[in-house]
Structure 1
Amino acid sequence: MEFINQTGGEINIKESKIDIKLKEKSSISIDYCIDDYKFTTIDNVLYISLFDICRILSIRSKWDYRRSTISLYWDKSNYKSCRAVCRRAALIRFEDITAGGEYLDSDNLEKLIVVADYMFLAGIQFHIAWIPRFVDPQNGIDNDISKDYSMPNANFLFTMEYLLNRNGIIGLHGYTHQYCDEVSAVGTEFNEGRNNDEKSIRRRVEAAISIANKLELPVKFFETPHYAATAFQQSIFEEYFDII
């Protein structure tokens, strides 16, 4: 409500319906009991995610970590997906997407959004190989965005939701994609000598799924780091996922 008022608009909530009238846009009606958007109520106050606000109102965001600000502006691009002209299928996957390294940089996340827009315009679905927990032991980094709130982590989650909205399909690329003192996205998590007993395998797969569930990110496949895994490890993964 505060956001709408500050943009010169009007908002009216009646039962489950939210009617929004914007100064520079036509009126919008939303049913917050439907699962299209992520609403939550805390102390009788209705909240919605920034991503859904941007989606509903056709707004773009610019994140500035140094100033701790998020700038919003009208999106005039009017993106519409089109069908792919070519009859051949291109199977495209964005690899090692994780909340660490270059993907904690706001400019790089914005570039990822631009690439997703291009894929959407071309009518091409794409896979996102996501590492849920970024670990860099030598630098004391252990980043689980379902537990650690920060502006870069919030922007990473915002970007993941954006990729989903642009026909992206998220899969788990291991849990940490590393072992012992290795860095995530560099190390090998599973092979004949690493996490090779049933308890360790299940613990890591279930921990990765748990993070996805907490963040409400649907995951559709599992990809082992560097494609390394024994037949036994694969057999455990296949109990959790239809696509490996």
Structure 2
Amino acid sequence: MTSISTATPGWLALRAPADDAARSADLADELAGLVNRHASSAPLLLHDLGAGTGSMTRWLAPRLPGPQRWVLRDGDADILEHLDLRTVVDADGGHIDSEVVVEDLEHLPRDAFEGAAAVAASALLDVVTEAEAAHVLAACIAAGAPVLFSLTVTGSVRVRPSARHQELEDAIAAAFNDHQRRDAEGRRMLGPDAVAVVAALFADAGWHVRRAATPWRLRPSERALAAQWLDGWVGAAVAHRPDLAEPAGEYLRGRLAQSAAGRLRVTVSHEDLLAWPG
């Protein structure tokens, strides 16, 4: 795997408000209780895996006690150039310390999280393989560090108003999900199966696991995000099933017209997962 990050800074900025609205505050609160056990005069050591532009750190740090020191890890040096944590504070109002590690996921050391109070990641699990997920889990388990994986896609999508040709929309959804599970250069990604697979791996290790539904609920006012999501959703489906190109193109044009008219609502299902030692 050459890079953890798979998105552009523009896409991450566009989706950030929907991400922040969707994430599970309940699981973050439970994580705060777990890391309180590490509280001392020294800063809490926290890792953000596949950090991108730092959206997970920006959302989570204010929900955890301070002081905090974050290690933001990503395989994409270019996207880390857009990292911005200048205004981030912990739950006590103190500014956080941070450092950046440019590192491919496959090279994550087993002792990477030694001394960590917690590990966090966002929109990561569905784009890794089962072996890569197990590699990350091994590092978490070795450190005994609780982990919060946020915003993993589940494959369930709801678009309203109802489609005129529901069979076509169902075919697009199925093709997208198959595309997410595709074998890419010898890597078969977990896609919509990711949360179930990772939850089972943690359970097999004797860890506690909690899951929470964290869907995007895009309103008509969020048309820019809905339009870009639709374009990517349909595009990935067609890449997997080229025979859908013509009808899917017509479907996309119709949905984009509904979005432009302020009529479209989209629900994109995700799950957050919190795991901690038994």
- Normalised to the residue count of structure 1, the TM-score between the two structures is 0.28
Greater relative contact order: 1 or 2 (C-alpha under 8 angstroms, separation 6 or more)? 2
Give the helix-richer structure, 1 or 2.
2
Larger radius of gyration: 1
